[in-house]
Amino acid sequence: MILVEDLWFTYGEDFILKNINLEIGKGEFIAIMGDNGAGKTTLVKHFNGLLKPSKGKVIVDDLDTSKASIYDLSRKVALVFQYPEKMFFSETVWDEVNFALKNFGFDEDYRIHRINKVLALLWLDGLKDRSPFTLSGGEQRRLALACALAWDPDYIVLDEPTAGQDKYQREILTKIIQVLVEQEKSVIIVTHDIEFVAELKPRVVLMYNGEIVADGAAEDILSNEKLLRSSGLYPPSVIDVSRPLFDKGIIKKPIINIHDFIAALEMLARG
């Protein structure tokens, strides 16, 4: 479990995080949402000790991030950032993942086992001899994720995973997240991609101006237009279509994604 208790953070002047309290369980799937500058990335950088609280505590399982080493924390928590192409330096995809594992001192048999496993999970097994620099943007994103997953961390944090991804890559990403959640991994995505969140319906933690302003089910938060707009986000587009039906009492609650909306209309059509 990741436990955040009364976390405050500042680089020196204003507080970028204020009074954050949050519990993330094993196997949970969470979206941390909010406008640019809300503090989302600053918050998740506390999960693996990249940043230390100015006040308050962050505990990962039995490790206090203020005291534990980045090495120990990184074993448990993997962070995958927005621009993967900046972090590659190996000659092949295989070597890139292997390097990540060597860092933790794993023996060769285990490394080979893990590399094969993550490359298969991330649909990269056909590309293991390719240079990371010749991969497409989407493949590079998946390679960065493969490196992060190589040593089997329990908590996986993805910063804006859908940014710049085409439809196919979003579908692949959805499947990967589903597999990880099935494996009891905690998956935390930092995103302002409301349509993606509406489709996958994780628990949503909404941030604004350094604070958590809502924490709950996607269906409740994503259908709360006022709350979203005051946090600098827009509701998913299906809401605009489904809201008038809700207002007229035809559906029981506003619907946030197209599949649920279609299902509801089919029910209505059947009577």
Q: Which residues bind another protein (CB under 8 A)?
A: 35-37, 82-83, 136-138, 160, 163-170, 192, 194-195, 232-234, 236-238, 240-245, 248, 250, 258, 261-262, 265, 268-269
Considering only CA atoms, which of 60, 70, 50 is closest in space to residue 24? 60
Q: Which is nearer to another protein, 51 or 238 (CB)?
A: 238
Rounded Cα distance between 261 and 254, Å, is 9
Neighbours of 136 (CB within 10 A): 11
Q: Which is nearer to another protein, 137 or 216 (CB)?
A: 137
The nearest distance, CB 178 to another protein, in angstroms, is: 19
Q: Which is nearer to another protein, 126 or 244 (CB)?
A: 244
Rounded Cα distance between 148 and 104, Å, is 12
Q: Which is nearer to another protein, 67 or 168 (CB)?
A: 168
Q: Which is nearer to another protein, 96 or 160 (CB)?
A: 160
The nearest distance, CB 136 to another protein, in angstroms, is: 4
Max distance between CA atoms of the chain, in angstroms, equals 64
The nearest distance, CB 242 to another protein, in angstroms, is: 8
The nearest distance, CB 250 to another protein, in angstroms, is: 6
Rounded Cα distance between 92 and 50, Å, is 28
**Residues sharing a CB contact under 8 Å with residue 53, sequence separation 6 or more, in sequence order:** 7, 8, 9, 46, 65, 66
Q: How many angstroms separate the first and last alpha carbons of the chain?
A: 45
The nearest distance, CB 246 to another protein, in angstroms, is: 10
